[in-house]
């Protein structure tokens, strides 16, 4: 890994850790007191998150042929977005879930389906696997703050 890429990766991980430690624990009795979580995850952040000892559940909402062509290592399940509302019972509403698709559109739809079904700890990969492959797999650092 190139030195500048390594530095950016370490800084991104550091920012994630600082951001994760700066919010107070939500009250279990008052959902309004829960800290707002950005529903978007960027590729470099996901790469860092997936290195943690207990990573979130990684859900692919593309079709089977798309998934067979390429997927993110550590993917836990494939449930196409068109089937998600009928198969939501297969997921744990108490588990942290990160959703991805090809470009971020279907994962955004899936995010809404899960939130409407009572899931509270769900996020999706901005830019989808296209961004993941372009930034993480190829080693190109994302433009942070552009």
In angstroms, the CA 70 to CA 145 distance is 28
Distances from the Cα of 36 to the Cα of 24, 68, 107, 122, 129, angstroms: 11, 34, 19, 12, 25
Are residues 58 and 76 in contact, defined by beta-carbon separation less than 8 angstroms?
Answer: yes
The answer to whether 101 is a known catalytic residue is yes
Please tell me whether residue 140 adopts helix, strand or coil conformation: coil
- Beta strand spans in the chain (E): 40-41, 57-60, 77-78, 97-100, 122-125
Structure tokens at 79: 């449930």
> Of the candidates 130, 127, 124, which has an alpha carbon nearest to the alpha carbon of residue 146?
127
Q: Which of 20, 101, 143, 146 is catalytic?
A: 101
Q: Which residues are catalytic?
A: 101
């Amino acid at each position: 890994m190139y030195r500048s890429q390594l530095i950016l990766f370490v800084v991104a991980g550091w920012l994630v850790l600082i951001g994760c430690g700066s919010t107070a624990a939500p009250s279990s009795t008052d959902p309004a007191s829960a800290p707002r979580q950005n529903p978007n995850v960027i590729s470099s952040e996901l790469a860092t998150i997936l290195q943690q000892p207990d990573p979130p559940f990684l859900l692919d909402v593309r079709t089977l042929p798309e998934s067979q062509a390429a997927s993110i290592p550590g993917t836990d399940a494939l449930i196409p977005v068109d089937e998600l509302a009928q198969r939501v019972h297969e997921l744990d509403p108490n588990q942290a879930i990160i959703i991805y698709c090809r470009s971020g559109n279907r994962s955004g739809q899936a995010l809404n389906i899960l939130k409407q079904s009572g899931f509270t700890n769900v996020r999706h990969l901005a830019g989808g696997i296209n961004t993941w492959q372009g930034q993480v797999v190829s080693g190109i650092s994302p433009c942070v703050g552009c």
